[in-house]
A and B are shown apart, each in its own frame.
Chain A
Amino acid sequence: MFNVQSVRDDFPILSTLMNDKPLIYLDNAATSQKPLTVIKAVEDFYKTSNSNIHRGVFRLSELATARYEATRKQFSEFISAEKDSEIIFVKGVTEAINLIASGFAQTIIKEGDEILISGMEHHANIVPWQIACEQTGAILKVIPVLDDGSLDLLAFEALLSEKTKLLSIVHISNSLGTINPIKLMIDKAHALDVPVLVDGAQSAPHMEVDVRDLDCDFYVFSGHKLFAPTGVGVLYGKEKWLEQLPPYQSGGDMIEKVDFDGTTFKGIPGKFEAGTPNIAGVIGLSEAIQYLQKLDRAKAMAHEISLLDQATEGLSKIDGLRLIGTAKDKASIISFVFDAIHAHDVGTFLDAAGIAIRTGHHCTMPLLKSFNVPATARASFAFYNNSNDVDCLVESLKKMKSFFL
């Protein structure tokens, strides 16, 4: 059994009050809470170790550089990358995808080429490709989503072709919770020499990731959804791709030599890390990884799925409530709508009960349009949520109905 109470004690915010009620935090797909060890690591860094990296010859800077680079190594091991230099620190998934899209637009994509994404992508995995297509004359193709919220895999195979220059696909849908069969999709894409970018924003927090086993060409995720601070994330890319792509931003720290006659860039990963990075964020991310490595992640995920099952059962019994996304393979994210109550009003009502959920389009407007709803209410569970959280959600929704209807 997974010891929920023990992990809850590690997250100080979970024992606070919200609107005079114990906080029930069910918006983990938007951002996760942070364990005390992560908060303290960031604080300690600023108190005792703060310095810029890759610059100073003094001891303090050397120590900061060593910790920053040790985190790169730690990450490389965390996701089973082949080389530490395949780990690029970025702000988060949005920046990671922009970096790749911009690089592909400059060097790889040509007029008439195709980029393949799916109908359940977050705006961060749509808009950069729309811009890349506009710049190059390439065409954005979209794998349709079936009524249950799973991908139409037959359509996927039909859409893949020699024109496809990249498949960029979300691992777990942030709006529906659907876990996409990415290993199978990567195999199909590779059979046609199509590289694959996996948006791991929602998968890294829920499951162990092995990029070599997946054989994906890029895997990107955000620290803040992985129990680390905001403003830091990781772009993993196979060396052969990172070598090909041009720098995304330029300036200090990404160069070997600057002359008015020309500049030479560092190799990877430095080429992609211009300017002073989020050093404290990286230190916090390092601590978050250590925290996760101490957990039994298989048990943590099983616990999350038991919460999902409990929520699915409880919500399904509420008249007038409809679940959006009922795929067979789902992570602990549950989206729902009421026939007669708008999601925004649901969110405000639950807030008064201390329950934080997300309402709206979840940055997936095309997906919601395909379900013909303008907005959903979404509860997303982390391993620190418990069965009481789900009970409170279900009971509050029942009360809400008598309030509004």
Chain B
Amino acid sequence: MSEGNLQDLYQSILIQHSKSPLHYGKLEVFTHFSEGYNPLCGDAISVYLSVKQGTIEKASFESASCAICTASASILLKAIEGTKKESFTSIQNEFSQILEDGSKGQTDTLSPDVLAFQGIKQFPSRRNCALLPWTTLKEALDSGIKD
């Protein structure tokens, strides 16, 4: 690993998302909510969803988290808004695939920004940072409980 690898991990698109995350803040009205924690580093994220007739109409998050986690949440919530609840699994699988096999170089449903996560393969200890928003969103969808 070197500073070159660091550039792979912290690609400028990822840094941009982490500095100015999309969909940041608490939804005034939401139907689904979950909090996720990364016990390794103490990161915490809250995900808010407003789901109507199976469609995720609005999605937002708040977090105290690292650049990787914040950028991942930003890209995820942008991607998820307007989609059907059921499509989450396939979106999640696509993201997992990018984390595991960075070489693909293209995306199906996710924004190409997500390819910025290809470099994470070289940093196994940071994988959970990228995954935390995704597991938290999944819990929110499963719970359906408004907190």
B6, A374: Cβ atoms closer than 8 Å: no
Q: Which residues from A are CB-within-8-Å of B123?
A: 348
CB distance from A344 to the nearest CB of B (A): 4
Q: Which residues from B are CB-within-8-Å of A360?
A: 40-42
CB distance from B102 to the nearest CB of A (A): 17
Q: Which residues from A are CB-within-8-Å of B42?
A: 360-361, 365, 368, 374-375
A348, B126: Cβ atoms closer than 8 Å: yes
Q: Which residues from B are CB-within-8-Å of A343?
A: 41, 66
B2, A352: Cβ atoms closer than 8 Å: yes
Instruction: Write the chain A residue with the least CB distance to B65.
Output: A342
B1, A19: Cβ atoms closer than 8 Å: yes
Q: Which residues from B are CB-within-8-Å of A365?
A: 42
B129, A344: Cβ atoms closer than 8 Å: yes
Binary interface encoding of chain B residues 47-90 relative to chain A, with 1 for a CB under 8 A from any of its CBs, else 0: 00000000000000000111110100000000000000000000
Given A19-B2, A368-B42, A403-B10, does the pair A344, B66 have CB atoms closer than 8 Å?
yes
Instruction: Write the chain A residue with the least CB distance to B9.
Output: A348
C-alpha spacing A344/B66, complex, angstroms: 6
C-alpha spacing A344/B67, complex, angstroms: 8
Most buried by B among A20, A348, A403, A404: A348
Q: Which residues from B are CB-within-8-Å of A20?
A: 1-2
C-alpha spacing A28/B55, complex, angstroms: 51
Whether, in the assembled complex, B106 has its beta carbon less than 8 Å from a beta carbon of chain A, the answer is no
- A:322-363 near B, CB below 8 Å: 341-345, 348-349, 351-353, 359-361
B40, A345: Cβ atoms closer than 8 Å: no
- Contact for A352 among B1, B43, B67, CB less than 8 A: B1
Whether, in the assembled complex, B97 has its beta carbon less than 8 Å from a beta carbon of chain A, the answer is no
- Contact for B66 among A19, A342, A353, A361, CB less than 8 A: A342
Interface size class of A (residues with CB under 8 A): 20 to 34
Binary interface encoding of chain A residues 385-405 relative to chain B, with 1 for a CB under 8 A from any of its CBs, else 0: 000000000000000000110
CB distance from A12 to the nearest CB of B (A): 22
A404, B1: Cβ atoms closer than 8 Å: no
Q: Which residues from B are CB-within-8-Å of A403?
A: 6, 10
CB distance from B61 to the nearest CB of A (A): 15
Whether, in the assembled complex, B5 has its beta carbon less than 8 Å from a beta carbon of chain A, the answer is yes
C-alpha spacing A375/B40, complex, angstroms: 10
Most buried by A among B5, B40, B66, B68: B66
Given A368-B42, A403-B10, does the pair A345, B67 have CB atoms closer than 8 Å?
yes
Whether, in the assembled complex, B110 has its beta carbon less than 8 Å from a beta carbon of chain A, the answer is no
C-alpha spacing A52/B67, complex, angstroms: 51
- Contact for B43 among A19, A375, A404, CB less than 8 A: A375
CB distance from B77 to the nearest CB of A (A): 19
- Contact for B41 among A349, A351, A361, CB less than 8 A: A361
CB distance from A399 to the nearest CB of B (A): 9
A344, B43: Cβ atoms closer than 8 Å: yes
Q: Which residues from B are CB-within-8-Å of A375?
A: 41-43
B15, A404: Cβ atoms closer than 8 Å: yes
- A:106-141 near B, CB below 8 Å: none
Q: A20-B1, A352-B2, A360-B40 are in contact. List 6 more A-B contacts (CB 8 A).
A: A342-B65, A344-B43, A344-B68, A344-B126, A349-B6, A374-B42
Residues of A within 8 A of B (CB): 19-20, 341-345, 348-349, 351-353, 359-361, 365, 368, 374-375, 403-404
Q: Provide a sorted-by-A list of 30 A–B residue pairs whose CB atoms are within 8 angstroms.
A: A19-B1, A19-B2, A20-B2, A342-B65, A342-B66, A342-B67, A342-B70, A343-B41, A343-B66, A344-B41, A344-B43, A344-B126, A345-B67, A345-B68, A348-B9, A349-B6, A352-B2, A352-B6, A359-B41, A360-B40, A360-B41, A374-B41, A374-B43, A374-B64, A374-B65, A375-B43, A403-B6, A404-B10, A404-B15, A404-B67
Residues of B within 8 A of A (CB): 1-3, 5-6, 9-10, 15, 40-44, 64-68, 70, 123, 126, 129
